[in-house]
Structure 1
Amino acid sequence: MMEEAELCFPQLLNTSCKRHTRPQFESMLIYILMSFVSLLTVVLNLLVIISISHFRKLHTPTNLIILSLAVSDLFVGLFVMPFQVLLTEPCWLLGDLVCSMCFFLAFIIVSASVVNIVLISVDRYVAICDPLHYPTKFTQSRVKVSALLCWISCIFYSFMILYDNLKQPGRYNSCYGQCVINIFGAVHVVIAFIIPISTIVVLYLRVFVVAVSQARAMRSHITAVKLQSSVTVTVKKSELKAARTLGVVVAVFLMCFCPYYCVSLSGYDITMASSTNSFINFLLLLNSCLNPVIYAFFYPWFRNSVKFIVTLQILQPQSSQANIL
């Protein structure tokens, strides 16, 4: 009886996984923390989506990319975080097909977040380093197409990387009660981490160099036409502020994603339900909650739009025309 009580499926004595229990306090802490962060992630990103979608003043190319990022972050809170909570359980009870589909959905959503961060970096790079051509290169229609291609490419990539797992769910489980997938780890790390991170770092190093040179030029008032100079300075300050804010977004992204992929690169094998695995996965997903928090601190338009939403002023006629900048 004691042996049966330690099995995920006591009726399957020879093929059931063992139930590895953890302290009740640790389990409760994980549930409460993940549930709270999941709810907060959904609420904050929903505010970002409503703000950018409703107020026409916010319909800029940069904000459209932020909108796409907020959608992926919203899905992280709605689907990926609850799935991660289930993975902290000692036994997986929902079946092999649900396991594979949950991983497939998680790969799409998290990959979309990464690609959207790359798009933000490209947007800021062109805005700072090639400001004269930015309005023609980054139009709203082009950004919408880019965001759509981002999601399509993430769906295709996730399907290819998880093809064997989707074709035959549970083929890599060693016993009943597991939720295990197998992917080409090296390929995934290169495509989903090294290439995007390298692109982001290179672009922001370039942006940083140009931003520093522009800041020095702004401090030295040596231009011949003062009126033109003041207009140029105003535009540059606006762009530099946006670049600085989105630079913080990228820095937080690196801090959240690096531990997960560093463990993958090290080849260190950790148990799916272990505390270490729960922590690095939680840190990775926490990025989706921190992005709108950064907007709240750095973007006045976000704070103003939240006031409109909370006070229900958004329901008033012509509220979409309000100047919240």
Structure 2
Amino acid sequence: MGTQEKSELCFPQLFNMSCKKPAIARSKAVFLHIVLSSVSFLTVALNLLVIISVSHFRQLHTPTNILLLSLAVSDFLVGLLLSPAEILRSTACWFLGQPTCLMYIFVSLTVTSASVGIMVLISADRYVAICDPLNYPIRITDRRVKLCVCLCWLCSIAFSCFLVRDDLHQKRKQNSCYGKCVVVVQYIAGVVDLILTFIVPVTVIIVLYMRVFVVAVSQARSMRSHATAVRNHLPMTLTKKSELKAARTLGVLVLVFLMCFCPYYCVSLVGEEFINSSSASFVAYLFGLNSCLNPLIYAMFYPWFRKAVKLVVTLQILQPGSSEVSIL
């Protein structure tokens, strides 16, 4: 093998067993590393602020915020573990070994499944809050939400173990080249993953939020047409307005999630033979970008988040009794 051909290999000493280096210009690779590393750092920092804020301030311990806390944890893991690994996987050779590759795949599948499950829970939370507001405090409690979140993560871990087991079996059987971290999933497992992680959850989210939208519009019209009655029932009206505002904010959150998440699985629907590595990397980056956008959405629509961040950044949360500070 010639010197030039050896320089194109990830492990020149392994000759035919080595993968080729990704065909990407050095200047482009450096640019991608800078941009994606910056996004990854921002994702970690912003979601860490969400985690600290919701965990520390007692007034923020509500069912909806518990769901946002769980989503922030998954987004934090994306920025801390998945994004750096994806940058390495798509722009350079994989030098971290097969066990680390499998761990990356496992964490990636777990976090993706958990994020989808949490989005379904958020949609269900808003559905009950808008469509059945009188029974919302009874049906949606902190304890039930925490239980649902735990089950969501446990199911995601169990399902990821199933997929990684099949992937490990396939890789041993196919004995692929060294220097790449590629997800290889059996056909049946891939179909099950597509149905359980994409088709069913996305359908449920869309149906629930369509129902929330219809009821929210109906309530808004009702409040406008009964201005006099609204003034006589001010506390109840304020509650409705707050729930409608929360539904709008979380609706934006869900919409952005679907816009970033759907292309990720559309690649699976199209098939790998029709998708090049650049397109596959792009949809992975897009999904990772969603984890950075979520805290920005909170900052845009939630005054309590901006106030909490100010207290966290200025280290006022270290003062005694700071957890009891009024945030809302």
Q: TM-score range by the shorter chain?
A: over 0.9
Residue 193 (structure 2) aligns with: 188
Residue 265 (structure 2) aligns with: 261
Residue from 197, 211, 218 that aligns with 1:213: 218
Secondary structure of 2:14 counterpart? coil
The yes-or-no answer on 1:324 pairing with 2:297 is no
Secondary structure of 2:22 counterpart? coil
The yes-or-no answer on 1:310 pairing with 2:318 is no
Q: How big is the shift at 1:172?
A: 4.1
Q: How big is the shift at 1:22?
A: 1.1
Residue from 217, 220, 236 that aligns with 2:240: 236
Aligned-residue RMSD, C-alpha: 1.8
- In structure 2, do the counterparts of structure 1 residues 72 and 225 end up closer, same or farther at CA, with 3 Å as the change threshold? closer
Alpha-carbon separation, structure 2, partners of 1:287 and 1:246: 14
Show the 5 A alignment for 1:31-70: 31-70=33-72
1:175-228 deviation digits (Å, cap 9, x = unpaired) = 22222222233222211111111000000000001001100110112776953x
5+ residue gaps, structure 1: none
Equivalent residue letter for 1:300:
P
Alpha-carbon separation, structure 2, partners of 1:143 and 1:162: 28
Q: How big is the shift at 1:171?
A: 4.1
Alpha-carbon separation, structure 2, partners of 1:141 and 1:167: 39
Q: How big is the shift at 1:130?
A: 0.6
Alpha-carbon separation, structure 2, partners of 1:92 and 1:259: 25
- In structure 2, do the counterparts of structure 1 residues 270 and 10 end up closer, same or farther at CA, with 3 Å as the change threshold? farther
Alpha-carbon separation, structure 2, partners of 1:14 and 1:306: 54
Show the 5 A alignment for 1:81-100: 81-100=83-102
Tell me if the contact between 1:112 and 1:154 (Cα under 8 Å) persists in the aligned partners: yes
Q: How big is the shift at 1:45?
A: 0.5
Q: How big is the shift at 1:9?
A: 1.6
Question: Which deviates further from its counterpart, 176-185 or 81-90?
Answer: 176-185
Which structure has greater helix proportion? 2
Equivalent residue letter for 2:253:
V
Alpha-carbon separation, structure 1, partners of 2:229 and 2:46: 47
1:60-103 deviation digits (Å, cap 9, x = unpaired) = 01001101111111111111111101111342222222111110
Tell me if the contact between 1:72 and 1:109 (Cα under 8 Å) persists in the aligned partners: yes
Alpha-carbon separation, structure 1, partners of 2:295 and 2:144: 24
Q: TM-score, normalised by structure 2?
A: 0.93
1:19-45 deviation digits (Å, cap 9, x = unpaired) = 233111210111111111111011000
Residue from 158, 161, 164 that aligns with 1:162: 164
Residue 256 (structure 2) aligns with: 252
Residue from 114, 119, 136 that aligns with 1:117: 119
Alpha-carbon separation, structure 2, partners of 1:164 and 1:224: 62
Secondary structure of 1:132 counterpart? helix
Equivalent residue letter for 1:56:
R
Q: How big is the shift at 1:316?
A: 1.3
Tell me if the contact between 1:116 and 1:150 (Cα under 8 Å) persists in the aligned partners: yes
Tell me if the contact between 1:172 and 1:182 (Cα under 8 Å) persists in the aligned partners: no
Q: How big is the shift at 1:167?
A: 5.1
- In structure 2, do the counterparts of structure 1 residues 103 and 170 end up closer, same or farther at CA, with 3 Å as the change threshold? farther
| Residue identity (%) | 58
Q: How big is the shift at 1:3?
A: 2.1
Residue from 269, 276, 279 that aligns with 1:276: 279
Alpha-carbon separation, structure 1, partners of 2:83 and 2:173: 24
Q: How big is the shift at 1:170?
A: 4.9
Equivalent residue letter for 1:119:
L
Tell me if the contact between 1:270 and 1:276 (Cα under 8 Å) persists in the aligned partners: no
The yes-or-no answer on 1:17 pairing with 2:19 is yes
Question: Which deviates further from its counterpart, 81-90 or 54-63?
Answer: 81-90
Q: How big is the shift at 1:168?
A: 6.8
Q: TM-score, normalised by structure 1?
A: 0.94
Alpha-carbon separation, structure 1, partners of 2:229 and 2:41: 55
Secondary structure of 2:129 counterpart? helix
Alpha-carbon separation, structure 1, partners of 2:230 and 2:97: 71
Residue from 92, 104, 129 that aligns with 1:102: 104
Alpha-carbon separation, structure 2, partners of 1:207 and 1:234: 18
1:216-264 deviation digits (Å, cap 9, x = unpaired) = 110112776953x322211110000000000000010011012121121
